[in-house]
Structure 1
Amino acid sequence: MKFEPQDSFTHSLPQDPILENTRRQVSGACYSLATPKRTAKPELIHSSEEMASELGISDEELKSTSFLEIFTGNKIGENSRPYAMCYGGHQFGNWAGQLGDGRAINLGEKVYNDKRWTLQLKGAGETPYSRTADGLAVLRSSVREYLCSEAMYHLGIPTTRALSIAFTGDQVLRDVLYNGNPDYEKGAVVSRVAPSFLRFGSYEIFSSRQDYKTLTTLVDYTIAQFFPEIKDSSKEGYIQLFKTVAERTLEMIIHWQRVGFVHGVMNTDNMSILGLTIDYGPYGWLEGYDEGWTPNTTDRQHKRYRYGNQPNIGLWNLYQLANALYPLVEDAEPFEDVLEAYKNDYAVKYVAMMKDKIGLSSTDDGDADLLSALETTLQIIETDMTLFFRNLSLVTKNDTVDSVLAKIEISFYTLEELKDDALEKWKIWFDLYIKRLQKETTADEARALKMNATNPKYVLRNYMAQLAIDKADEKDYSLVEELYTLLKHPYDEQPEFEKWFAKRPEWARNKVGCSMLSCSS
């Protein structure tokens, strides 16, 4: 496996001069060299032939011993100078100082078909940024990252990608729920891929230290490498960079809201400068539609990163990025204009997205009220988000309220609760919806096709991932393969996989890994 001899990141940015792999504060450098930890007995669980093709990796190479050794840390590929990135971050609203790649090691870059990719191992061992941790990862978190990053890509959501997942043969000590009950789990490593793994915190760390020289170098590199439409590195260019990052961040979050994805830990060190979904930790998918739901046990009390608050957190994080870039511009007004535009654009884009979800192409004065009423009605009794919006495409202009209810009753978790006041409110909303559909000129069939391209039939529910994890723990990778195949076509009917178009089973409601998860997940 060959990497680029001229890695753009390491050749353009300052390196930590200290070569010892000791935990420390790293100053004036964007990265530190770090060698992956050798694994005891690596075994490939799954690899993405699709992602390998994007990288120019042949099927033969993908199945080779050399590939397994490189992507589990036991061999250094040609031209590879493994390194960990330095960055800081705001965690749950508080500045945490230096964080960095504590369990991720970049192997290098690969160019294929005029696309430059960075390849990284997650769970490859300690780095100078590991603080008190071991830098390793376990099977459950690795399966979740591997499957979800690829699932998100096929949902049309900006994301990092995954190339492979493998057992390391090592045992890793983890306290799953941070409740004082640590236990050993099987170690694993994921190789993940992106044009860059730069985060908001990559810029915050240098600004917080008033190291404006390194900050400028990093920002100039970012523009030159990833934002070629910005012609120069100047104050105007820095504002244009911030504007583009804000637009991409909003686009990503609108997509999250569209499919019911909850990231779970939107700290600034988990926000990609490229607007990619990054760092799949305690994420989850809405089962019952609930704007107040968060999958993160650490966030259980304050619910900072709940589903309904994700757009606001995106804005808050952009404020922190603006503060980090401000010393390069020394003018607050253009940053404020971009942040104000984010708020205005969100309001418009959210309504447009929701209208797509319920199949409205034209404009009507009552649309905002119709959408607001829907969001309220969805939370009267537990209603599955994915099933509801997918089956809503079955509704026609000629339906009655009762026939509509029959088409969407599959989405109610406790159908016996659909009575009295709850039933009446649903009937009122469906009556309004049918009347609104009758104002549309689009035929029912065409509208259904458009809705089904917006509302996925299949998403990676937590219980599905947990079932795959449990089987993989027994060295049975069939369910990893099945879900990987299913999630490559989330908008298609796929009758052979119809069993996955179902509500979360009751046994999974409060099961560890199926409801809420910790950051150690």
Structure 2
Amino acid sequence: MKLNIRDTFNCELPSDPQRENSRRQVHEATHSYVKPKVPSQPQLHHVSKAMAEALGLTDEDLKSDEFLKVFSGATIYPGTEPYAMAYAGHQFGNWAGQLGDGRAINLFEVVHQDQRWAVQLKGAGETPYSRQGDGYAVLRSSIREYLCSEAMHYLDVPTTRALSLMTSGDEVLRDMLYNGNADYEKGAIVCRLAPSFIRFGNFELFAARNDIKNLKKLTDYTISHFYPELGPPSKTSYIEFFRTVTQKTLDLIIHWQRVGFVHGVMNTDNMSILGLTIDYGPYGWLEDFDFGWTPNTTDNQNKRYRYGNQPNMGLWNLLQLANALYPLIEDAAPIEAILKQYQVDFETKSLQMMRSKLGIQKVSEEDAQLMMQLEDCLLLSETDMTLFFRLLSQYKKGTPELGVSLIKDAFYHPNEIQAERLQQWETWFKAYDSKLQNETLTDVERQTKMNAVNPKYVLRNYMAQLAIDKADGGDFSLVVELFQVLKSPYEEQPQYEQWFAKRPDWARHKVGCSMLSCSS
């Protein structure tokens, strides 16, 4: 197994001089060197062939003992030094101080076909940033991260990626619901990848400590490697850096809203500087369309990270990044202008996204009203977001009277759609049909375009939980099946039609299927 190692982060940026792997405050360093914990009996259960190829790995490599050892953390690849990154962050709106990679260890960086990948193990043991944690991950959260990161890629949502899913052979103690009922679970390790895992919190750490020297080093490194088009270090390039990150963050959140994804923990330490979905904890997809839904038990009371508030939280997090970068810019005006533009662009891009979901190409002043009326209808009774938009693509112009029957399978309580609710839906379909009459697309052309942005298959929590339950008993066949289904989320795939369905009643309040905790 030969990898083209081209480490930069741990070679060009300041490291922690202390080599002892003990919990501590780390100063004037972007990372600490640390060795993964050797698992007692690592076992490989699934590999993303696409990501293996992206690293330059062959099928023979994947079968080798070396692959198993390196990507479980049992051995260190020759000439490399694993490390954990230092960062801080705001958690649920409160400053949390130093955080860092508490259960992630970066192995190395690989360059293949002009693409750089930072390779990281999640669940491979403690680091100086583990705080009260043990640095391990359990099988349930590892399956969720492994499946979801690859699923998001195929949904065309910017994301970190995953290479492999392994069990460690070790038992890990977890209090899944934080209710005092801790129990042992199977330990697991996910190998995840991204061009970089740098977060907003990396910059916040140095800014909070007034370590401007290292703040500049980190910013210059990030621009040089990931935004080289912005030019050499200067006030101008720092402003443009913030503008570009702001745009990427907004585009990411628009994608989340498009597919109905709710991150669940949009803390600043979970915000990628590259505009990627990062850190798959208590995430979820909307089942019934609900702006107030959050999948996170920790957030259940205040619902800070609810579906409808994600765009606002993106802006709030960007403000924290702006505060961190301010010492390099020393001018509030351009920062304020960029943040104001985010708000303007969100309205524009959100409306544009909704037009695409409805198959509308011609822009008119009435579009916003049509969208708001649709949202009102979706909130009348529990309506499955994924099913609704996919079924709507089959609508034929000139048949508004058939609209409600076309989408009936999206209703969780179809008997509720009568009287005033039925009339409201019928009124909307008439308005929608009127809009489509002015479109030049044929019904077939519109359906093709709608089906390209409205997925048929998403990783609903109950689906992931079914795979977890089977895998916990040693059967990973459902992990394999769901991985395959989610590689083509916009295709019909009639052999997998059973996954194009509403959440079953048994999953409504089942642990792991409705709400989830941050426990891993």
The two structures share one fold, judged by TM-score above 0.5 = yes
AA at the equivalent of 1:184 = Y
Aligned equivalent of 1:325: 325
Aligned equivalent of 1:491: 490
In structure 1, runs of 5+ residues without a counterpart are none
Following superposition, the deviation at residue 145 of structure 1 comes to 0.1
The CA deviation string for residues 235-277 of structure 1, in whole angstroms up to 9 with x for no partner, is 1000010000000000100000000000000000000000000
AA at the equivalent of 1:452 = N
The CA deviation string for residues 374-417 of structure 1, in whole angstroms up to 9 with x for no partner, is 1111011000000000011100112132x111111010011111
The separation in 2 between residues aligned to 1:146 and 1:312, in whole angstroms, is 28
Aligned equivalent of 1:23: 23
CA contact (8 A) 2:206 2:215 kept: yes
Aligned equivalent of 2:432: 433
The CA deviation string for residues 82-125 of structure 1, in whole angstroms up to 9 with x for no partner, is 00000000000001000000000000011100111100000010
Following superposition, the deviation at residue 511 of structure 1 comes to 0.4
Q: What secondary structure is seen at the aligned counterpart in 2 of 1:89?
A: strand
AA at the equivalent of 2:164 = S
Please list, as runs of the form range in 1=range in 2, the aligned pairs for 1:398-417 lying within 5 A after superposition.
398-401=398-401, 403-417=402-416
Following superposition, the deviation at residue 364 of structure 1 comes to 2.1
Please list, as runs of the form range in 1=range in 2, the aligned pairs for 1:238-387 lying within 5 A after superposition.
238-387=238-387
Are 2:508 and 1:519 aligned?
A: no
Q: What secondary structure is seen at the aligned counterpart in 2 of 1:35?
A: coil
CA contact (8 A) 1:3 1:79 kept: no
- RMSD between aligned residues: 0.8
Aligned equivalent of 1:10: 10
TM-score (norm 1): 0.99
CA contact (8 A) 1:3 1:77 kept: no
* Change in 2 beyond 3 A, CA 1:424/1:235: same
Aligned equivalent of 1:76: 76
Following superposition, the deviation at residue 2 of structure 1 comes to 4.6
Aligned equivalent of 2:152: 152
CA contact (8 A) 1:7 1:108 kept: yes
CA contact (8 A) 1:117 1:196 kept: yes
The CA deviation string for residues 126-174 of structure 1, in whole angstroms up to 9 with x for no partner, is 0000001100000000000000000000000100000001000000010
TM-score (norm 2): 0.99
CA contact (8 A) 2:6 2:111 kept: no
Please list, as runs of the form range in 1=range in 2, the aligned pairs for 1:198-277 lying within 5 A after superposition.
198-277=198-277
Aligned equivalent of 1:161: 161
Q: What secondary structure is seen at the aligned counterpart in 1 of 2:172?
A: strand
In structure 2, runs of 5+ residues without a counterpart are none
Following superposition, the deviation at residue 355 of structure 1 comes to 0.6
CA contact (8 A) 2:3 2:56 kept: no
The separation in 1 between residues aligned to 2:431 and 2:398, in whole angstroms, is 13
The separation in 1 between residues aligned to 2:6 and 2:206, in whole angstroms, is 25
CA contact (8 A) 2:6 2:110 kept: no
Aligned equivalent of 1:54: 54
* Change in 2 beyond 3 A, CA 1:240/1:257: same
The separation in 1 between residues aligned to 2:454 and 2:374, in whole angstroms, is 16
Q: What secondary structure is seen at the aligned counterpart in 2 of 1:229?
A: helix
AA at the equivalent of 1:466 = Q
Aligned equivalent of 1:505: 504
Aligned equivalent of 1:90: 90
Are 2:438 and 1:463 aligned?
A: no
- Misfit runs of 4+, over 3 Å: 1-6
Q: What secondary structure is seen at the aligned counterpart in 2 of 1:173?
A: strand
The separation in 2 between residues aligned to 1:376 and 1:122, in whole angstroms, is 41
Are 2:384 and 1:388 aligned?
A: no
The separation in 2 between residues aligned to 1:185 and 1:4, in whole angstroms, is 36
AA at the equivalent of 1:134 = D
The separation in 2 between residues aligned to 1:286 and 1:191, in whole angstroms, is 27
State percent identity of aligned pairs.
Answer: 62
Tell me how many residue pairs correspond in the alignment: 520
AA at the equivalent of 2:55 = L
